[in-house]
């Protein structure tokens, strides 16, 4: 909760490493709150196509041209989701997805907690003949819980107390008719 009784946002502005290494997913994560749901639309699609056809041009576009704008946030800005964990892991990596869920950014929390476990398994896996072991761990064993979900006043997408009251009033009015 914010000091005025509102809800804190859950959309962290993507860091430069996130935009460079996971451009479409980082943009989608900010705008849609899910790393893959919006990765084939708008500026995320631009980054994806540039990366597909011009190597790292999409990453350069994401870092230098695209700017996070709170007015672009779609859906409930106080939430993040991972609707398809395996697809998200395929597009980024296990440690990045865990970091996105917990911190709101793909790179910020990659060496903390369960993301660090997935990272270590990705490093150890090839040595024992199981490449991407950390990604398998993320897809099959990791369970995102709301207790791990972090918000901060610096994140975009929050709702003030007045916005929440307005929504509650609209629901009451609609139910009365």
Closest-CA residue to 149 (of 75, 85, 78): 78
Q: Are 31 and 73 in contact (CB under 8 A)?
A: yes
Q: What is the pLDDT of residues 40-53, one digit of tens each?
A: 999 999 999 999 99
CA distance 48 to 117: 29
Residue pointed to by tokens 């929440």: 164
CA distance 138 to 118: 7
3-state class of 7 per DSSP?
strand
What pLDDT score was predicted for residue 177? 40
What pLDDT score was predicted for residue 172? 29
What pLDDT score was predicted for residue 108? 93
Q: How many helices (H) and strands (E) does the chain have?
A: 9, 0
What pLDDT score was predicted for residue 130? 93
What pLDDT score was predicted for residue 64? 98
- Alpha helical stretches, state H, 22-141: 23-31, 42-53, 57-64, 85-91, 94-103, 113-124, 133-140
CA dihedral sign, ordered 68, 46, 44, 120: negative
Neighbours of 128 (CB within 10 A): 9
Half-sphere exposure for 147 (CA within 13 Å, toward CB): 1
What pLDDT score was predicted for residue 162? 52
Our CA angle for 141, 146, 150, nearest 5°, is 110
CA distance 62 to 31: 13
**Quick one: which H or E segment has residue 170?**
helix 161-176
What pLDDT score was predicted for residue 110? 92
What pLDDT score was predicted for residue 149? 87
Q: Tens place of pLDDT for every residue, the chain, 177 residues?
A: 666 667 888 999 999 999 999 999 999 999 999 999 999 999 999 999 999 999 999 999 999 999 999 999 999 999 999 999 999 999 999 999 999 999 999 999 999 999 999 999 999 999 999 999 999 999 999 999 888 888 888 899 987 655 543 343 222 233 344
What pLDDT score was predicted for residue 2? 62
């Amino acid at each position: 909760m914010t000091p005025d009784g509102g809800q804190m946002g859950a959309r962290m502005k993507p860091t430069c490493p996130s935009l460079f290494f996971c451009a479409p997913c980082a943009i989608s994560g900010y705008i849609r709150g899910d790393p893959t749901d919006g990765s084939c639309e708008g500026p995320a699609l631009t980054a994806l196509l540039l990366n597909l056809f011009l190597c790292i041009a999409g990453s350069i576009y994401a870092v230098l041209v695209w700017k996070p704008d709170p007015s672009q946030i779609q859906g409930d800005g106080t939430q993040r989701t991972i609707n398809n964990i395996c697809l998200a892991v395929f597009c980024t990596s296990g440690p990045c997805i865990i970091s996105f869920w917990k911190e709101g950014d793909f790179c910020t929390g990659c060496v903390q907690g369960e993301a660090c476990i997935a990272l270590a398994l990705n490093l150890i896996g090839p040595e024992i003949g199981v490449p991407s072991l950390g990604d398998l761990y993320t897809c099959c064993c990791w369970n995102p819980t709301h207790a791990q979900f972090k918000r901060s006043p610096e994140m975009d997408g929050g709702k003030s107390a007045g916005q929440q009251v307005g929504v509650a009033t609209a629901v009451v009015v609609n139910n009365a008719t």
